[in-house]
Amino acid sequence: MRTRREPRSRKRIAARRRPAARVLKTVRVPAPVEPVFLRAQQHVARYFRDKTEDPEVGTISISGERYILLRAASMSVEFFDLVTSLYEDKGPQAARGVASNLLFDLAHAIGKADARAFQQRLGLKDPIEKLSAGPIHFSYSGWAFVDIFPESRPSADENYYLIYDHPFSFESDAWLKRGRSSELPVCVMNAGYSSGWCEESFGLPLVAVEIECLAAGGKHCRFIMAPPSRIEEHLARLGGDGSSRASRRRTARPSTPFSIPEFFQRKRLEDELRQSHESLERRVEERTAELTRTNELLRREVADRKRAEEVRDEFLSVAAHELKTPMTSLRGFAQVLLGQLDRNEMPDPQRLSHALRAIDRQSEKLAVLVSQLLDISRLEAGRLVLERTATDVVPIVESVVANARARTSRHPVEVHAPATLSAVVDPLRLEQVLTNLVDNAIKYSPDGGAIRVEAGHSKGHLRLVVADRGIGVPPEHRGRIFDRFYQAHPEQRLGGMGLGLYISRQIVDLHGGRMEAEFPPTGGTRVIVTLPPEPVTT
Amino acid sequence: MTRPRVLLVDDDEGICDFVRMALHDAGFDVATAQNGRVALELLPSFGPCLILLDMRMPQMDGWQFSRAYRASPGPHVPIVVVTAARDAEQSAAEIHADAHLAKPFRVADLIQIVRRLSTESPRS
């Protein structure tokens, strides 16, 4: 075990040179693994011994493999300078990042490829054997001498850890030879190549970080190598209080700031950028779809509202027309009579009676229209309240029929009812419903025809039927006859506001009953009302 | 002495009733028709000097009547639109009527319009 690790001079290493077979001279490693490295040294030495240079055809070959020679400074200090000048506008930090990434990626790729080619050529299988050729190959190819510390643990798992020096790194040499120094470690290619070789040897992603660099004011070019997931832990240990005795003794705390390289960081950034683009596009698409949906909803809402407004406008127009018509007669008769009085004439009793009856009839029409409007207003506010009481329905039916007979001579009105028929209903509202149904029967039988009113029980329910032989309702309109403002035959100008059936249906619904319309093939309309005998609590 | 004749076309019995009374008192003979079709049938025999026309009626409304009337051989007498619809004036313009009365109207206004237009000579 060595107790001190000072960079050895080239002379000292040269002095230690002994026969290659017995002495390890192209690398320094912990004693237990020396035999493996000795074997590797033999293989590598043999490999490099077979070297031919033929400048006349521009080739350098080693054991049949072509090599190229690169001037070391062009791949270190001069490369950094070039990139710095190219990235002048982005600042030295950005330039350094670009240069380091390029050099690291390139060296890491070369390291991996060299390891694979060399290990295949020699038929090496064991990871340590595979690793062992690397540092020696490294020395022979002029990158750096490798001095691996005893606390290194090159195991083929996440505990893999190497700590080593490059006493004669081609990179720091290039800086120092020009009298230049750097704020950050400069041996980027060395870190890349070594980690590439070891990664290939162990089948494990590895990264190397230079924690101290001669070109950055350090005493050594010192590196650690570990899986990317563990490297920060090691750096923290070396930099903090948790350092082992060995590393406290031998390893100076990293004296310069360092950065952890990432092989093909560019690809990760590109992927992230692309993913962010894709996710942005997806979000834009989602938002667009959402906006389209919202837009469509709004469009429909606007259309619905417009339709509702049109219906309301039409209703107001119809309602005004319906209210003005009886009002015109009322005022007309009053003015005709007043006109006579003004002329000091006395209207004859027959005319007086005729006019007053007309006034009475028109007032009643107005009253019905006004109560319909009030009912609509109550229904819309949910304030139409029934006053239910035990009622004999038959007198109500008879009274409605009697009133109807008084209004029409062209429509014989038949009644079919038992002597009594009791139910718990709102008698006034039930009368309103029946009156409306009979009025409709008359209204929609403009050419006359019998009207039949039935009252009875069916399956314990009160059943009322009003049937006419009138014009009926065209099949396409039948689904809407109970709608508010709906008139089955607006073209016939039969009058009304389109509220009667709607209000009647609502009153029946409030009783917990049903109102249905049938259209027999023989013509006309049958409206059937079914009411529960007792109030149904809903 | 023959009284000038007025034809009232309206489906509301109440209105027909009092207009007949009012115009009778004012010296006119009045015939009524409950829609345009009945009016067209009555016209040749009755020969009014003026037509009072409701617009919304079953079977044949005011618009259909005026088209048919204008298409028939003349001479044509003035038409007064009498309607409860909001757009009495517009309806009158649409059928090229000579005047309009919005329901409910003053009997005095009715008589004044009828007197004014019934003295005009019939147009072709």
Mind listing the pLDDT tens digit for each residue in A142-174? 999 999 999 999 988 999 999 999 999 999 999
Q: How far is CA A117 from CA A122, A124, A141, A190, in A?
A: 9, 11, 15, 19
Q: Which residues of A touch B85 (CB under 8 A)?
A: 317, 321
Torsion sign over Cα A473, A479, A480, A482: positive
pLDDT at A195: 94
d(CA A319, CA A101): 84
Say if CB B33 and CB B68 are below 8 A apart.
no
Count of A-B CB contacts under 8 Å:
77
Q: Which residues of A touch B14 (CB under 8 A)?
A: 325-326, 328-329, 332-333, 358, 361-362
pLDDT at A521: 86
Reported in sequence order, the residue ranges of B65-115 that DSSP labels E, i.e. its strands, are 79-83, 99-102
Residue among A328, A331, A337, A369 with most chain B CBs within 10 A, to mutate: A328
Alpha-carbon gap: B78 to the closest alpha carbon of chain A (Å):
23
pLDDT in tens, A177-190: 999 999 889 999 99
What number is the average pLDDT over the span A56-60? 94
- Which residue reads 């062009």 in tokens? A74
What number is the average pLDDT over the span A453-474? 89
pLDDT at A480: 77
Higher pLDDT, A182 or A10: A182
Say if CB B50 and CB B77 are below 8 A apart.
yes
Say if A325 is an interface residue toward chain B (CB within 8 Å). Answer: yes
Tokens of A265: 């960081």
Share of chain A above pLDDT 90, in %: 57
Alpha-carbon gap: A290 to the closest alpha carbon of chain B (Å):
44
What number is the average pLDDT over the span B42-67? 92
pLDDT at A531: 92
Higher pLDDT, A366 or A494: A366
Say if A358 is an interface residue toward chain B (CB within 8 Å). Answer: yes
pLDDT at A331: 94
Confidence of residue B120 (pLDDT cuts 50, 70, 90): low
Say if CB A492 and CB A478 are below 8 A apart.
no
Q: Which residues of B touch A327 (CB under 8 A)?
A: 103-104
Q: Which residues of B touch A361 (CB under 8 A)?
A: 14
- Which residue reads 């409605």 in tokens? A400
Q: Which residues of B touch A332 (CB under 8 A)?
A: 14-15, 18-19, 22, 104, 107
Phi, psi of A489 (to 5 degrees): -135, 65
pLDDT in tens, A218-243: 999 999 999 999 999 999 888 743 33
Of A320, A327, A339, the CB nearest to B107: A339
Contact A324 B61 (CB under 8 A): no
d(CA A474, CA A519): 9
Say if A317 is an interface residue toward chain B (CB within 8 Å). Answer: yes
d(CA B104, CA A501): 28
Whether A485 shows a pLDDT value over 60: the answer reads: yes
pLDDT at B69: 93
Alpha-carbon gap: B107 to the closest alpha carbon of chain A (Å):
6
Contact A333 B15 (CB under 8 A): no
pLDDT in tens, A357-368: 999 989 988 998
Of B58, B59, B106, the CB nearest to A335: B106
DSSP letter, residue A76: T
**Which of A443-447, B17-21, B70-74, B108-112 has the least mean pLDDT?**
A443-447
Contact B104 A492 (CB under 8 A): no
Tokens of A69: 């020679």
Residue among A318, A336, A362 with most chain B CBs within 10 A, to mutate: A336
Contact B14 A333 (CB under 8 A): yes
Whether B75 shows a pLDDT value over 90: the answer reads: no
pLDDT at B59: 85
Strands A146-148 and A162-165: antiparallel
Of A321, A327, A331, the CB nearest to B85: A321
Q: Give chain B's domains with CATH numbers.
A: 26-118 (3.40.50.2300)
Contact B57 A493 (CB under 8 A): yes
Confidence of residue A489 (pLDDT cuts 50, 70, 90): low
Residue B44: closest CA among B81, B24, B74, B88: B74
pLDDT at A352: 93
Would you tell me which residues 60-119 of chain B have a C-beta closer than 8 angstroms to some C-beta of chain A? 61, 84-86, 103-108
Partners of A83 in beta bridges: none
d(CA B7, CA B53): 8
Contact B15 A494 (CB under 8 A): no
Of A326, A335, A339, the CB nearest to B14: A326
Start-end of H helices in A382-467: 393-407, 427-443
pLDDT in tens, A33-45: 899 999 999 989 9
d(CA A65, CA A414): 120
Contact A320 B19 (CB under 8 A): no
Say if B22 is an interface residue toward chain A (CB within 8 Å). Answer: yes
Alpha-carbon gap: B85 to the closest alpha carbon of chain A (Å):
6
Which residues does A341 contact at the CB level (< 8 Å), separation at least 6?
A347
Whether A16 shows a pLDDT value over 80: the answer reads: no
Residue among B18, B20, B55 with most chain A CBs within 10 A, to mutate: B18
What number is the average pLDDT over the span A408-421? 91
Contact B14 A329 (CB under 8 A): yes
Q: Which residues of B touch A320 (CB under 8 A)?
A: 84, 86
Higher pLDDT, A13 or A50: A50
pLDDT at A261: 80
Strands A413-416 and A451-458: parallel
pLDDT in tens, A100-109: 999 999 999 9
Residue A198: closest CA among A260, A137, A267: A137
Residue A318: closest CA among A441, A505, A493, A506: A493
Q: Which among A124-133, A329-338, A481-490 has the top mean pLDDT? A: A329-338
Say if A331 is an interface residue toward chain B (CB within 8 Å). Answer: yes
On average, the pLDDT of chain B sits at 90
d(CA A167, CA A179): 18
Helix, strand or coil for residue A271? Answer: helix
Write down the ipTM of this complex: 0.90
Partners of B32 in beta bridges: B8
Residue B94: closest CA among B58, B62, B46: B62
pLDDT in tens, A250-276: 444 444 456 788 877 777 888 888 999
pLDDT at A465: 95
Of B17, B22, B25, the CB nearest to A358: B17
Alpha-carbon gap: A307 to the closest alpha carbon of chain B (Å):
20
Q: Which residues of A touch B25 (CB under 8 A)?
A: 336, 339-340
Which chain B residue's Cα is nearest to A322? Answer: B84
Say if CB A497 and CB A375 are below 8 A apart.
no
Contact B22 A493 (CB under 8 A): no
Of A317, A327, A492, the CB nearest to B58: A492
Alpha-carbon gap: A358 to the closest alpha carbon of chain B (Å):
7
Residue among A324, A357, A444 with most chain B CBs within 10 A, to mutate: A324
d(CA A172, CA A98): 19
Contact A328 B84 (CB under 8 A): yes
